Structure 1
Amino acid sequence: MSVKYAKRMDYIKGSAIRELLKLTEQPEIISFAGGLPAPELFPIEEMKEVCVRVLDTDGKAALQYSPTEGYMPLRKIIAERMKKSGVEISPEHILITSGSQQGLDFCGKVFLDEGDTVICESPSYLGALNAFKSYLPKFVEVEMDKDGMKMDELEKALQANPNAKFIYTIPDFQNPSGITMSVERRKKLVELAVKYNVPVVEDNPYGELRFEGERLPAIKHFDTEGMVIFLGTFSKIFSPGLRVGWVAASPEIVRKYVLVKQGADLQSNSMAQREAAAFVQMFDLDAHINKIIEVYRKRRDLMIETMEKEFPEGFTFTYPNGGLFTWVEMPEGVDAAEVLKKALEEKVAFVPGGSFYPNGGNENHCRLNYSCMPEDKIVEGITRLGKVFKKL
């Protein structure tokens, strides 16, 4: 059989992370591969009450089609919560999406023609890179340091690429590096976006998961020209299975996203939107987030402490102030994908770092997740991984 596919299919590869997640179904594998929230922290009993409340009070609407833009009470809740990151936005300028991953896909659909440029951090989130690749862009990577994307390098990239359509960034506890962008660079990023007339896509799934220090204002807080598109989600602070995310942007940009959503799926899940809103109304979401933070902070500390003890000289790693990940750099010449094969023999998994670089290279990195494994398995898994590293 000879079937002719769209050219974009040549560029779409299976997600290394999604493939590795299949390993978590094997109970003997200690997996640091996925970006999974801890399932034991899901508010299951509360959600039983929520589901009954939604069906009792609004069942017909919950099971019916609803507006593409989303459930207005939920949009109002999101607008109110965004004030905590310094963003004042009207609920009318928020579109509910099927997780923030759909928002990423829509960024490509709204902005990218074949050959256009996406400017991103180096490394960057694999799920975003895969979403954008469907639209056949060119990627220009900008180096980071401990304060995030280097603004002088970003300006050089903007000058060299006049066809750049947007700048993609994860400013808080970046995936995969765990790095947080400084306030000064957030301000400068908006300044450069306005100067070169290139929008910023601010992907912010982890901002509320800060373990220490004060929460930094979102990049969009500094946006007075409508140049920043904010992507948010309930996946990391509540439930990824509900698939409730959002886009917050200027009215003109949101209208474009609404149009592509109408063509994609008409609307997000009516029931899930009402469940998310009802949970916030019936229970204390901030208290739930604080419970998550306490658990994740302990797991981060334990992972870092064990890595310091078990990893050999020449292996370095980041110390994130929040989020789900730390980023490991191995000695030059080491291929993390080959190391993974040895690690799997020891029943421990991680994500090799090469796939986080859209233009290749940097194979001597890996991402480790500390949110999903209980503390005893973190110690055991990192100890096993240390043994594998020492054999190198």
Structure 2
Amino acid sequence: MEQIIKPPHLDVSIDLQQAKSLVPLKDMSPEHLDVLLQSAKAEYLYPGQVLFNRGSVDQCHLYLLYGDLLLEDAEGRETLLKGRSEIMPLKHHKPRRFQATAATDCAILRLRSEELDKLLTWSQVADYLHSVIARDRDMDEDVQWMMQVLHSNLFYKVPPLNVEEIFSEMTAQVVDAGEVIIRQGEIGDKCFFIKEGRAEVTRQGATGIEQVALIEAGRCFGEDALVNDAPRNATVSMLTDGVLMSLPKQGFFRLLRSAQVPSTTLSHLQQRDLTSSSIVDVRSDEEYALGHLPGAVNIPLHLLGIKSRLLRLGVDYICYCDTGRRSTAATHLLREQGFNVKVLADGSELFNRADFDRYLETDKNYVLRDGLAVPGH
């Protein structure tokens, strides 16, 4: 898409408050959403300019922030969308089935779909783990720093599905002001979380030592050398006395491990026993309302920690979403609780079909009763 100069009378800034009204961004933590918006782009269209054509394929979620946008389908039917009232991404199924043309001056928010899906999933997994940790009275003293870990910068880079077992591998280290924790050029064998205190990040450059950043409690450092399997790219020294939690390299690599969960396919859904199985849609309630698999109940991933009590041992559950990432995470977490759960392996293929909506329900919703799906009111 060619670069478009912003019309002088349009002044649209992208901030957390505005993004928190959009679906599914509204279900992300402020920390993860802030990271997502760092790579977001605001684009501006004049009347008559085309945003996308029918049949085009891109890897983006597009949101109408301002103005009126005209959607035209293959039969020439037109729908007018008005900014400020649109909270869903613009017909983002691929390939696109509409041509989108600006009817007035428009502002568009463009987000990379893969980045959105990753950060959304990791944010919601952190929410789930928060609810689990908060219920464990033995962890009362550790809840605050554990939540700092879950919302730290480390989990903008790696999936936290295995984080529960990682906490047990972390060891506390009391440090003094002025102490050097890692040195530039060293081979990394662990990463660190600042539980208490402040530190300084410096780097040796062509003109001498430069201060790169100041980091405080709740931040992780040293993970880049492990992620990239490269020497340390900076030196970190304590500015105050403090406490660090260190995670050895082997434990860190367990974080990178993808969850291995059993799966099933759409073709097997028709054969399941309705008296002992249920389908669980883990997308947001707004996404569910736009269309869901027949008979599926809605338990959004970020509410899984609260609503998993509605499930019942002995019932077979199948989790799905539109990409497979949130549903794989949900399947893993529920299996950790002892439930019999599989992920729908080809759910994303269904949502990318041109006629996907033929297979979805929009006029019915379902709830769990005694662990099984029944029609809601």
TM, length-normalised to structure 2 = 0.30
User: Whose helix proportion is higher, 1 or 2?
Assistant: 1
Q: Looking at CA atoms only, which structure, 1 or 2, has the larger radius of gyration?
A: 2
Higher relative contact order, chain-length normalized (CA < 8 Å, sep 6+): 1
TM, length-normalised to structure 1 = 0.29
User: Whose strand proportion is higher, 1 or 2?
Assistant: 2
